[in-house]
Structure 1
Amino acid sequence: MRFSLYSLVLLFSTSLSAQTLKLSLPQAIDLALENNITLKNQYLSRIANKLDLQLAEDEFAVQYNAGAQSRYNSSYNEQRYDSVQNTLSTGASWRNQYGGQMSLSLNQNKYQAEQQADQYQNSIGLSYSQPLLKGAGKKAATANLTQARQQEVLNQLSMRRNLSSLISRVIFSYRNLLLAQQSLKIVELSLARANEKASNNRALLAAGRISNSVLVESLTDQANQKLSFQRSQYQYERSKLDFLQLLRLDKQADARLELDADLTTVEPELNLVELLHLAFANRPDYQQAKIDLELAKLDLYQAKDQADWRLDLDMSYNKLVSGERFEHYSGLDQGDYQVALKLEIPIDDMSSDNRVYKAQISLYQSANQLKELERNIELDVAEQKKKIEMSWQELLLSEQYLTYTQLQLETEQEKVQSGLSSNFQLVSYQNQLVSAQRDYLSAKINYLNLLTELDNLVGQDITKWQVDLSRSQNANIKQIRDYKIAD
């Protein structure tokens, strides 16, 4: 984020005291990203996602275990006989990235009985199992880890999509409010002119300088301007409430908003090849589709691997000795060794074949979806480029029309002063100017919105608005301790 939360709170605490909210577009985006409940919940989900990834990463770490047991026995055979058996155990296991599984166990038993010396029985065990067909190899052994890492990337991309969507909504809502605000000002000025004109005509009629029909014309225009003002005011209040709700500032619905937006427009210089390159490199949904295809390939590999024969090499060593401590053991060559080859051949296993067929179908579907998405991106970006270029031409024409309308009104005012035209005609040109002003403003907002849509289409809105992704990428369990429920 470009602004710290503290600075934003300070900004609003100062402005709220005067019941005025001063907001630039970047500030509005930051507030929305900070306050949006959906994003807050997704940040919490990201913490859970990180835990899932950490669990998958620990699959090949050494796992330790320890245990203890104390058992009291009391038996009767002509007399009562009591004994106590204490057992201590510890062990470790480790799975390598080629499917092998190794485990080590150490156990010590201490046996205490009445009128007998303490007896010790210790054991050591070491085993290793290596698959040679099903589950063998690095790709098969690390498939779960690969899926977990890819899922983490998918979660990050999902977060980017939600951020992009929210940014676009805020921008459109901000500009929609700005349009309503500026339109209200235009109509307000027009109403002021109509009120002044009606007031002057009443005075002129009382002085006998104009006819009653001229006054009726001005009163008709005044009523029309009042209606337009009322509608524009409602549209502004509706747009303001929608905007404040999006930022979760709707408690300040009665406050006055001061929007500081840059409405500067420049002629577009758009290169379709560069735009498509940006889209394929940055769009989250396209990156997600590519990962889905890779995961489908991995699913097919796993399905074929599970349908394979099982051939495992098992080796183990065990030694059981008496003695209080392990260093009293004699040589390892006196222990028990075992080496075994285990073969399992599936016969008429329809379930495995079914999994392979389904995985193959899913792979084809993922490939088709990726191709279709590529095609849609190419069409959408090309279409958006045309819309922007056309909108620019409309903006130029609306600006030209506004200029001519202003000149026309000035000319008509000179005619009225010279007695060569009527007030009715002047009012008509004034209303035409108001319409031209609003059309020009709408054309400018529409052009800027199309550029925003293009940013979203090519996936560069997050970069453009300098959104900080570290909170999502660095999510961890420690953040739960400091979490506060939103008001």
Structure 2
Amino acid sequence: MGFGSAVLGVAGTYFLMSHTGHRPAVQSPVQPPVTAEGRLEPNPPFREAQISLDPFSGLPRQQPDLLKVLTGNPSRMPNPLGRSIDSSVPELRLDSGARVQGNLAGTIILPDPTPTAWFQLKLEAGTLTAAAPALAQTKQVSLPTERELPLQLGDAVVLVLQNNKTLKNAYLQRLLDRRDLEVAEGIFNPIFEPRIEARYDRLEIGGVVTEAGQGDARIGATMLLPTGAQFSITIGATRSLRDESLNPTLDTLRQDLQVSLVQPLLRGFGADVTLAPINLARIQEQANRLLLKATLISTITTAIQTYRTLLEAQEQWIIQQQALKRAGDNLAYVQALVEAGRRARVDTLQGEADLARQQLQLKDAEGRLAAARLNLLQILGIDQKLTPVAIEPAALRQPIMAEADRLLPVALANNPDYLQSLLQIEAAKINLLLAQNNSEWNLNLVGTLGNNFNNVTANNNTTTVALVLTRQFGNLALDQAVERSRIQLQQSENRRAETLENLTVTVRNRSRDVNLSLQQVENARRVRELAEQTVTVQRERLQLGGRGVSVKDVLDFEDRLVQAKNDELAAIIRYLNAVTLLEQTIGTTLNTWNIRVESQN
């Protein structure tokens, strides 16, 4: 699809995705863009089609700058043509004859086609519905009726972001994560508690009836201060009516004001202790975002590998179909030679056996193709009655050698697991601070101020200032908490060191895999070229009736050619997957596809 830039807003989390054409504009640190050389053209029924959401996809575009894409606001991108954006929302249509319809709820915004086409998807309440507003002069394309769904690799990435069940659960979890952070950051907000009471009493003793009514209204407020102090204030008014048979009615009105302040001087004192819960919540929020990033990377990587499995299965099916056609041609040619008396009839048995074997292998290829289609539909989360067709060319990008020493700093700055280990150390330090603080003596400065007004008796004011010192003895849990926190800090540091070691080894292994698989691609290509030349020569010799060349020899060389083509295809897929796994390890998968996860303020 000619997707532009996308911002997927998910319950407080945005996903920014931007690329022009069929490939991401921002290149991977380990692989450059796709080239047309070496493309394996699919045969029917794999019809190549163009999928585009952009009505201006045929116009020339400029590649967007990575820094602008990752740091800029899509709504503030320049509009060089100066045209307004139509607010209408037509249906999402694909010009390939396929329709992508998920359960995403949101909007897609397409501004002017240059320098970059942008579209925006916003998730609301965890449910996704897709709709596409177009420009004022956009031409609408008719919907297809066929069930075939041609997909570029970029289309698969967009669909997995929209429909994958694992990602949907991760989006919903972000709703809870954001609310947890809001609760933690609201500890300094004042808490108000109003109270209203109405009461009636009736007492009868020896014929004397006493009736009393009382109404009480008050409001209290408490607030935590950054110093650790607890401030509270209560304002109230009470009115009482008392009526006795032998006494006049007594009407009493009382108003009161109570103010108190409890300031810790040892345990619980200071902004470091008071702000610790907020800092822990913010660290947890960062950890949750890293977890979401890891989930996105893992799911996208799996989708890419599954897509390439389908691509490989399609190409294998094509290769096997070509092999079956060659086997039929060989059999027909041998039968013609037999009819002409140039070959013995027994030679046709070898051709018939080879034809039957190629038919059997074609059935196996069809089975692998069907399984690959279902696996891709499952991870994309779309209708399993569709028939996905991978139209991405099974070709190499401009190959380069991966240098582990250059990629390791990138991994340290982007790998979610390593960044999680750093956050765990910071959280362990805060927990140790809290444990040490809880083990201290409890010394509080307490101040209270009270004012009471009564229409019957005299007013009274009270002021109290006190120092309160308390300490628990024999509570081993306090010392145990300190020791546990100290050990957990050491364990976190050890885990960080272990994660660093594992990451270093994995980056080196992934880099070596990329380099080795690239060499294997070149070797497989050379083997395939030699196999093609050999088959051509042997077929010519057989047609000319050359001595020493039998039908079996030609069939053997044909089998080697089929195997060489499959080996070259497998080598290309291995290289592409090796690059994808390397990107996953160094944490740049989202950058490769211009997807940014950011927190909503």
Partner of 1:398: 524
Q: Larger deviation: 139-148 or 440-449?
A: 139-148
Distance 1:201 1:383 in 2: 51
Distance 2:239 2:171 in 1: 52
Partner of 2:307: 174
- 1:445 positional shift: 0.6
Alignment deviations for residues 28-58 of structure 1 (CA, whole Å, 9 cap, x no partner): 1111121111221221121111111111111
> Tell me, which stretches of 5 or more residues in structure 2 are unaligned?
9-51, 54-90, 100-141
Provide the secondary structure at the position in 2 that maps to 1:316: strand
Q: Aligned to 1:40, which of 168, 179, 184?
A: 168
Partner of 2:237: 108
Equivalent residues of 2:160, 2:379 under 8 A apart:
yes
- 1:283 positional shift: 0.9
Q: Larger deviation: 342-351 or 390-399?
A: 342-351
Partner of 1:31: 159
Partner of 1:450: 578
2:217 is equivalent to residue 88 of structure 1: yes
Equivalent residues of 1:98, 1:137 under 8 A apart:
yes
Distance 2:191 2:314 in 1: 64
- 1:291 positional shift: 0.7
Partner of 1:289: 421
Partner of 2:409: 277
Relative CO higher for 1 or 2, CA cutoff 8 Å, sep ≥ 6? 1
Provide the secondary structure at the position in 2 that maps to 1:60: coil
Distance 1:111 1:358 in 2: 57
Q: TM-score, normalised on structure 2?
A: 0.74
Distance 2:234 2:559 in 1: 92
Q: Larger deviation: 255-264 or 425-434?
A: 255-264
* CA gap 1:56/1:110 in 2 versus in 1, 3 angstroms: same
2:374 is equivalent to residue 248 of structure 1: no
Alignment deviations for residues 377-426 of structure 1 (CA, whole Å, 9 cap, x no partner): 11110121111111111111111111111122222222223222332222
2:477 is equivalent to residue 344 of structure 1: no
Distance 1:258 1:277 in 2: 35
Distance 2:333 2:388 in 1: 33
Partner of 1:418: 544
- 1:346 positional shift: 2.8
Partner of 1:225: 358
Q: Larger deviation: 373-382 or 2-11?
A: 2-11
Mapping of 1:146-225 within 5 angstroms? 146-225=279-358
Provide the secondary structure at the position in 2 that maps to 1:42: helix
- 1:469 positional shift: 2.7
Equivalent residues of 2:165, 2:381 under 8 A apart:
no
Q: Larger deviation: 341-350 or 201-210?
A: 201-210
2:396 is equivalent to residue 264 of structure 1: yes
What percentage of residue pairs aligned between the two structures are identical?
27
Equivalent residues of 1:187, 1:434 under 8 A apart:
yes
Alignment deviations for residues 357-383 of structure 1 (CA, whole Å, 9 cap, x no partner): 111111111110000000111111012
Q: Aligned to 2:482, which of 356, 361, 371?
A: 356
Q: Larger deviation: 341-350 or 43-52?
A: 341-350
Equivalent residues of 1:126, 1:317 under 8 A apart:
yes
Partner of 1:19: 147
Distance 1:288 1:449 in 2: 25
Equivalent residues of 1:286, 1:373 under 8 A apart:
yes
Alignment deviations for residues 175-222 of structure 1 (CA, whole Å, 9 cap, x no partner): 011001001100101101112222343344345442112111111211
Distance 1:178 1:158 in 2: 30
Look at both structures and tell me which one has the larger radius of gyration over its CA atoms.
Answer: 1
Equivalent residues of 1:265, 1:444 under 8 A apart:
no
Letter in 2 for 1:380: T
Partner of 1:479: none
Letter in 2 for 1:88: A
Q: TM-score, normalised on structure 1?
A: 0.90
Partner of 2:208: 79
- 1:172 positional shift: 0.4
Provide the secondary structure at the position in 2 that maps to 1:251: coil
Alignment deviations for residues 442-467 of structure 1 (CA, whole Å, 9 cap, x no partner): 10110010000010000010111122
* CA gap 1:294/1:468 in 2 versus in 1, 3 angstroms: closer
Q: Larger deviation: 455-464 or 403-412?
A: 403-412
Count of equivalent residues: 465
* CA gap 1:3/1:223 in 2 versus in 1, 3 angstroms: farther
Provide the secondary structure at the position in 2 that maps to 1:267: coil
- 1:274 positional shift: 2.7
Partner of 1:485: none
* CA gap 1:397/1:139 in 2 versus in 1, 3 angstroms: same
